[in-house]
Amino acid sequence: MDQELKKELEKIATTIRGLSIEGVEKANSGHPGMPLGCAEIGAYLYGHLMRHNPKNPDWVGRDRLVLSAGHGSMWLYSCLHLAGFDLPMDELKNFRQLHSKTPGHPEFHMTPGVEATTGPLGQGIGNAVGQALGMKILAEKFNTEKFTLFNNKVYCLCGDGCLMEGISHEACSLAGHLGLDNFILIFDSNKITLDGPLAQSGSEDTAARFKAYGFDVFEMEANDIQQVDRCLSQVQSSQQKPTLVIAHTTIGFGSPNKADSHKVHGSPLGPEEIKLTKEALGIPEEDFYVPGSVITFFEEKQKRDLQAEGEWNQMFAAWKTENPELAKEFDAMINRTIPDSLEKELADLEMGKDSIAGRSASNKVLQKLGEALPFLYGGSADLSGSDKTMMETYPLIAPHDFKGRNIKYGVREFGMAAIAAGLFQTHMILPFVGTFLTFSDYMRNAVRLAALSGYHTFYQFTHDSIFLGEDGPTHQSVEHFAALRAIPKLHVFRPADSWEVKASWWAMLKYQGPSAIILSRQNLPELSQSRALSFENGVGRGGYILKKEKDQADYCLIATGSEVSLALDTATALERQGKQVRVVSMPCMDLFATQPKEYIDSVLGGNVGKRVSIEAGIAQGWHRWIGPDGITICMEGFGESAPASDLAQEFGFTVDAILNRLH
């Protein structure tokens, strides 16, 4: 390494340390240990190695950095500020304050240069694997012999906590299997966890673990900038496998009394220790000090960054001229363009049966969507034959072969959901994933982060209730409808027939956030009433009147999914008894709750005698719609192993059982 560059990068590392500890101190909250320990890594990546343009953080040709150890966010914010991203010094001074761009853990869309929402440990690794997979997909699709549009590297910085979480195994196992030779995982190996020395809770051979996955493994003393250069430059130039870099660091480096201790992990240094640390590192007393030479260094680097993107843009323009058909597909993918004709094509899609399982209807929809949307990629947690997520005309993605559009994630639900988020983060892929509804618990935290971050991802959950039958209560979902509906900004659909399945997919495409579609294993009758309204005016409003009473309604029956046909049959029986009945289908409570009060009142209001919910799940969430005096036809506990018809009798999901409850 050039000695002048070495000197400047060391100065940048010292600056990262100073900014980070002061941001934490001013907020009186945060994690100074990791930024102090990893400063050379940040200086080298942002000051030298990574190809990006801070003035255009969305440039698709960029390298990426995901901070999986999101508690060390001041490290990332300091790097982004110095590199020239739109993150002014005032934002560093407002660390962890209301409405700042520097929240306690990095959040996607909030801070320029932040590639993923991280903090729940290990998920950033899954996101980075998804980004790396996405880059391999895009390279396979768009690179030609003459032009290389995509050869991006995806770096991920993690700690012991990330590697302890099981999601790191799920994601890295798949990365090794697929041979993602653009993924570089940098492990901040400081032998300290939040609660004490690592030796108290872990003693595994991390290098052997990752070699078993199929990774190359390197080690470096990461508080020595020359060793960082020797290691990372070699990886960058000659990588042939996904790579783990074990970066030996000292947590709290430079702090005279707290370095190499868990006490520096998650609390401010304090004024006296700040003073001593600055003296030890040679940082002036001035708050949030940045040397003029560091400012000048990054101003020059930004010119080179701008030039690098300009050269890429020139290559891209030449590529478009020589590859017009590929260019059309590129534009469709980067804009995620939905054809104007697609809504009608979905509406006209024939199912060919009088009854069809929700999962089978959705599979037919996916075939149509796959044809129309080149950016749609899907996969399943080893259940594609059961959850019906396979796009049949497209091949599988396989080791070192990324031409396909179907991903076999294996039995890795949590990793699958985090990787799907990473695919979305490429800005050119719209991912869907599938598994049984009861396994949504395994992936719940990744679904939550998708909702928090606004990732446009789809979750196809099948085998939705006790009516899957003989597999029994271990696989029969009862609380999962409510659990998913409890996640803010996640749209949860439970369609009643194939028309509602089609309309649900249309609504999910239009919603710029995550959605879950919950589907039956068993056949559902086709409902002529559901087709009376357009996608927009029926399912698109979350809930709608399926059957209107003639005069004053004695009952308003509200149902979802497979229980909607039961509600209609119950209404017919009640009408034979001289009752007036309204039936409401509510495929998506989340959408219904966003409708104007006037619409909600028109569906559920009026002079209605009694509101009744019918759903083969727990009652939680229903009293918002039926009122405190409403009746819930629901599950009070877990299911049983038996045929579906026997379970309907056992748990009261028959017309006669409901009539007995109403009288």
- DSSP string for 70-81: GGGHHHHHHHHH
Residue ranges of domains in the chain, CATH in brackets = 3-307 (3.40.50.970), 343-529 (3.40.50.970), 536-662 (3.40.50.920)
The answer, yes or no, to whether residue 607 has pLDDT greater than 90, is no
Mean pLDDT of 268-282: 98
Q: Helical H runs in 239-288? A: 271-281
Specify the residue for token string 């004053």: 552
Euclidean distance between CA atoms 238 and 181, whole angstroms: 10
Q: Are 425 and 480 within 8 A, CB to CB?
A: no
Secondary structure (3-state) at 369 = helix
Residue 354 CB coordination number (10 Å): 8
413 is catalytic: yes
Q: Count how many Cα atoms sit within 13 Å of the Cα of residue 121 in the half-sphere of its side chain.
A: 16
Q: At a CB cut-off of 8 Å and minimum separation 6, what does 486 contact?
A: 621
The pLDDT confidence band at residue 370, using thresholds 50, 70 and 90, is: very high
Q: Are 403 and 374 within 8 A, CB to CB?
A: no
The type of residue at 78 is S
Q: Are 535 and 587 within 8 A, CB to CB?
A: no
Q: Please tell me the predicted confidence (pLDDT) of residue 305.
A: 97
Mean pLDDT of 31-48: 98
How is residue 159 written in tokens?
A: 């700690």
How is residue 207 written in tokens?
A: 């290098």
pLDDT, one tens digit per residue, over 163-210 is 999 999 999 999 999 999 999 999 999 999 999 999 999 999 999 999
| Catalytic residue, candidates 8, 273, 343, 413 | 413
How many residues comprise the chain?
663
pLDDT, one tens digit per residue, over 399-451 is 999 999 999 999 999 999 999 999 999 999 999 999 999 999 999 999 999 99
Q: Are 264 and 33 within 8 A, CB to CB?
A: yes
Phi-psi region of 127 (alpha: psi -120 to 50; beta: other; left: phi over 0): alpha
End-to-end CA distance of the chain: 85
How many helices (H) does the chain have, and how many strands (E)? 26, 20
pLDDT, one tens digit per residue, over 568-584 is 999 999 999 999 999 99
> Quick one: DSSP state of residue 401?
B
The answer, yes or no, to whether residue 353 has pLDDT greater than 90, is no
Give phi and psi for 442, each to the nearest 5. Answer: -65, -30
- Reference 140, options 489, 535, 405, 450; nearest CA is 405
How is residue 363 written in tokens?
A: 């599979």
The answer, yes or no, to whether residue 541 has pLDDT greater than 90, is yes
Secondary structure (3-state) at 204 = coil
Mean pLDDT of 348-353: 92
Q: Please tell me the predicted confidence (pLDDT) of residue 459.
A: 98
pLDDT, one tens digit per residue, over 376-405 is 999 999 999 999 999 999 999 999 999 999
**Sign of the torsion formed by the C-alpha atoms of 346, 350, 351 and 355:** positive
How is residue 311 written in tokens?
A: 């050269």
Supply angle C-alpha 114, 116, 120, rounded to 5.
Answer: 120
How is residue 385 written in tokens?
A: 């034959």
The answer, yes or no, to whether residue 119 has pLDDT greater than 90, is yes
Q: Please tell me the predicted confidence (pLDDT) of residue 18.
A: 98
Euclidean distance between CA atoms 415 and 51, whole angstroms: 27
Residue 256 CB coordination number (10 Å): 11
Q: Which residues pair with 341 in a beta bridge?
A: none
The pLDDT confidence band at residue 663, using thresholds 50, 70 and 90, is: confident
Average per-residue pLDDT in the chain? 97
> In the chain, what percentage of residues exceed pLDDT 70?
100
> In the chain, what percentage of residues exceed pLDDT 90?
99
The type of residue at 14 is T
Helices 123-142 and 413-424 pack at an angle, to 10 degrees, of 50
